[in-house]
Structure 1
Amino acid sequence: MRPVPAPHKPRLGERIMAAVNRDPLTAPHAIRNDALLALATTAHAVVVALVTDEGRRPDVLGWTLLLAAQVPLVWRRRHPMPVLAAVVALVGPYHALDFNHAAPTPAAYVALYTVAATSRPLRTLLTGAAVLGISMAVMLSVDTKQAIELLRISGWVIAVLFFGVDVRCYRQYVAAIVERAERAERTREEEARRRVAEERLRIARDLHDLLAHSITLIGVQTSVAAHVLTADPERLDRAAVAKALDDIAETCRTARGELRTTLEVLREHTPAEARGPLPDLHGLKDLADTARGAGANVELTVRADQVPPAVGAAAYRIVQEALTNAVRHSGRDDVTVRVRVYEGEGALRVDVTDDGTGAGTGTPGFGLVGMRERARSVGGTLDAGPGRAGGYEVTAVLPLGSEGAR
């Protein structure tokens, strides 16, 4: 039994970068982490107020203002501007009373950083200017020396603001990269699904064209053999029966070979080349001969050379399905097949007409849908319906340009 590898534990640097890259509004345990941060700034403020002598040691009012200024940091991610306003409102009177000026500094820096990291740069600039202006006004009213000292250390305030803006821009950059990667992944998945759907549709069309054509011919040939057997038992035409049975066997062999070729593409180990060449216009003569063997009077005219393989395959399948419908619905009526290239239009035109009922009767199937899909697959169009002089008519126009060649 193979040992299960231990899960990878992120290093300290990886955890720090993950925290920097993470959106502060979606970070897990945000309230808990900010509460711990508020406790840390509170502990720092208490130690600094008791140890250093930068101003008077806070009294009851001073301690109240100092400690109250740490509380809003718990909600700094959700409400950065209100938190900064609350901190300034509490720290301003604290400094005005000339208490220890270094104690509330971390809380103020944290509030400023949060605004810079979550707001637009212009808003951050205006906020920083307002905070410095209010602080200078308060210090000037208390002690000019302290105001000069604040002006000297204002570079730290600007540095905190720029650091917050830089972190915000970096997070946006990382988020854009992640979004592009996710979009590319979705595109690849959609492309894979589209290709699978197209392949399934192609296989469905091939199976329908093959099986419908073969089964129809087998049914007609079986009817011919049964008719010969029952028409005049005393004068049995053994040659006609043998020919009908041979035609059925040949149709079965052809269908089995084409079915095998179609199903092989479903096997993972089969390369794409194993599908074999696409059917083309050279196979129309065999289709016409097979239809004639089923009793239809087929007139075939082909005037086309150098047709792109995809267009030739589409024309072959359209003619195959049209002949199948003609044999199935029209019996022994006349069928005319014309395949021509119109140089002026740059398109291959396929016309299949019969003087019977065509595909307009019987149970609706997928034949007409498949023919239209064949035409659309090479950028062409297909019309099918009753002919002007009766019967049924199928007309397809398949362009020979780049889209058809593809």
Structure 2
Amino acid sequence: MDPVHTTTAPPTAAAERPRIGERIMAAVNRDPLTAPHAVRNDAVLAACTALLATVLALLVDHGRRPDALGWTLLLAAHVPLAWRRRRPLLVLLLALAPVVPYHALDNNHGAPVAGTMVALYTVAATSTPRRTLLLGTVVIGTTLTVNALTNPDGFVELFRITGWVVAVLVFGVDVRYYRQYVAAIVERAERAERTREEEARRRVAEERLRIARDLHDLLAHSITLIGVQTSVAAHVLAADPERLDRETVAKALDDIAETCRTARGELRTTLEVLRDNGGPSDTRGPLAGLDGVPDLVETARLAGARVDPTVRVASSVPPAVGAAAYRLVQEALTNAVRHAGPEPAVRVDLREEDGLLRLSVTDDGTGPTPGTTPGFGLVGMRERARSVGGTLDAGPRTGGGFEVTATLPLTPATTREGTG
């Protein structure tokens, strides 16, 4: 049997380690107060600067070579650097404390410069500009005083030391502002990303709510009609089995089949919207509008309701408003057929008035049975009216029955396309 050979896939670009330049820039951009492994890294830095100071003290002829006390002061000045990012100002003071007597004893003056500059830079990069300016003044004043006492004729050395101190402080402040600038850019990018994510979630929630309303209107309407038509067929079959009214039963069954076909078609259209991936924003085809109200009236009549429709709309209605009005009438008729009792008298009134579409559906029924669990019909109707900038009221009538009234604006600016 041949051995099975396996190959290892080459590492992807995402797994490659960042370049040295990228790591340096990342370290520069990072806030030193929150950087990981701060003490460990600063301890290594302190050891390196102490080693550099030792080399300078031994090899560079700039003052006398330190004695035992000088070496102690020199090395003691570098120990606090291991905690420079935790307590920058305290570390600077602890570093300067042995440096002042070190210089006063006329030891090698160049040896402790690197460590002192590191402490100065840390304070400038982490403190406010005002504190940095005050600190620079104190450091320069102290340096001038020590230099005047140990080397009164060294004007060149005086200017050199002052220049280094000012340069380090300015560089630290500049790095601080640069980090704040980078942090602001990152924060704006994160805020923009959060805004985009919130907008995407809002759109998803609105779409789910719209689909929930469509499914409720579709299924509640269809199931209610099927239930009424089935009850008619069952009543005919049970009333007088010997003198069966075959024509009435056949008609009831045909109505049930037609209702099922209509519901299946609308349900398929809604599911196509759910399955759509990257296609057009609205694949549902033409929205049902006021032209579909006569079909709703006829369907309600087949279910036993006595419907009296009145439609007085002269101008063209925006598709979103027409679709909302269609769904409101559909849900109101469904509730009347379901809750108003046998053969309720229902009046549907649609009229245009002052740039508004006014809708009213009233019945003379008994209303929902006490103790019935409320559904989502009225909630969905109010949400649908609000989706096009309208309002809806629903409740029992004073003289009996139930009434649904809605006011929908006809101006396109206040509508939202895609309401179904």
TM-score (norm 2): 0.92
Matched, 1:5 2:5: no
Q: Distance in 2 between matches of 1:353 and 1:279?
A: 22
Given candidates 309, 315, 330, the residue that maps to 2:325 is 315
What are the ranges of 5 or more consecutive residues in structure 2 without an aligned counterpart?
A: 1-6
Consecutive unaligned residues of structure 1, counting only runs of 5 or more, are none
Distance in 1, Cα, partners of 2:373 & 2:49: 82
C-alpha displacement of 1:214: 0.4
What's 2:174 paired with? Answer: 166
> How far did 1:69 drift?
0.5
- Distance in structure 1 (CA, Å) of the matches to 2:369 and 2:207: 29
TM-fit CA distance, 1:271: 4.2
**Percent of residue pairs bearing the same amino acid type:** 71
Deviations along 1:305-349, one digit per CA (max 9) or x if unpaired, are: 322211111111111111100000113111111122221xx3222
Residue identity matched to 1:62: G
Task: Quickly say closer, same or farther: Cα 1:360–1:23, change in 2 above 3 A.
Answer: farther
Q: Render the CA deviation track for 1:102-157: whole Å, top value 9, x for unaligned.
A: 11100111011111111122221221111101111122222212465123331121
Q: Contact 1:353 / 1:393 at 8 angstroms: preserved in 2?
A: yes
Q: Which residue of 1 aligns with 2:3?
A: none
Contact 1:72 1:83 in 2 (8 A): yes
Contact 1:329 1:359 in 2 (8 A): yes
- Residue aligning to 2:410: 400
Question: Is this contact kept in 1: 2:325–2:359, CA < 8 A?
Answer: yes
Alignment partners' CA distance in 1, 2:52 and 2:283: 76
Shift of 1:217: 0.5
Q: CA RMSD in A?
A: 1.8
Partner secondary structure for residue 375 of structure 2: coil
Partner of 2:4: none
| Contact 2:387-2:416 within 8 A present in 1 as well | no
CA distance in 2, matches of 1:373, 1:405: 13
The one-letter amino acid paired with 1:167 is V
Give the alignment partner of residue 296 of structure 1, picking from 295, 305, 311. 305
- 1:338 maps to which residue? 349
Distance 1:273 1:379, change over 3 A: closer
**Quick check: 2:391–2:408 contact (8 Å CA) kept in 1?**
yes
Write the letter of the residue equivalent to 1:164: G
Deviates more, 1:153-162 or 1:292-301: 153-162
1:378/1:398 contact within 8 Å kept: yes
More displaced stretch, 221-230 vs 66-75: 221-230
1:358 aligns to what SS in structure 2?
coil
| Cα distance change of structure 1 residues 184 and 360 upon mapping to structure 2, 3 Å threshold | farther
Matches within 5 A, 1:177-188: 177-188=185-196
CA contact 1:136–1:151 (8 Å) conserved in 2: no
Match of 1:247 in 2: 255
Aligned pair in 2 of structure 1 residues 206, 316: CA closer, same or farther (>3 Å)? same
Matched, 1:132 2:140: yes
What corresponds to 1:386 in structure 2? 396
On the 8 A contact 2:273/2:282 being kept in 1, the answer is: no
Equivalent in the alignment of 1:34 = 42
Shift of 1:352: 1.0
Q: What is the aligned length?
A: 404
Contact 2:359 2:407 in 1 (8 A): yes
Q: After TM superposition, give the deviation of residue 360 of structure 1 in Å.
A: 6.6
| C-alpha distance in structure 1 between counterparts of 2:283 and 2:160, whole Å | 80
Q: Normalising by structure 1, what TM-score?
A: 0.95
Mapping of residues 209-358 of structure 1, within 5 Å: 209-269=217-277, 271-304=280-313, 305-330=315-340, 331-343=342-354, 346-358=355-367
Matched, 1:194 2:202: yes
Maintained 8 Å contact 1:136/1:147: no
Are the counterparts in 2 of residues 308 and 405 from structure 1 also a CA contact under 8 Å? no
How far apart, in 1, do the equivalents of 2:362 and 2:398 lie?
10
Change (3 A) 1:280 1:359: farther
The answer to whether the 8 A contact 1:281-1:316 is kept is yes
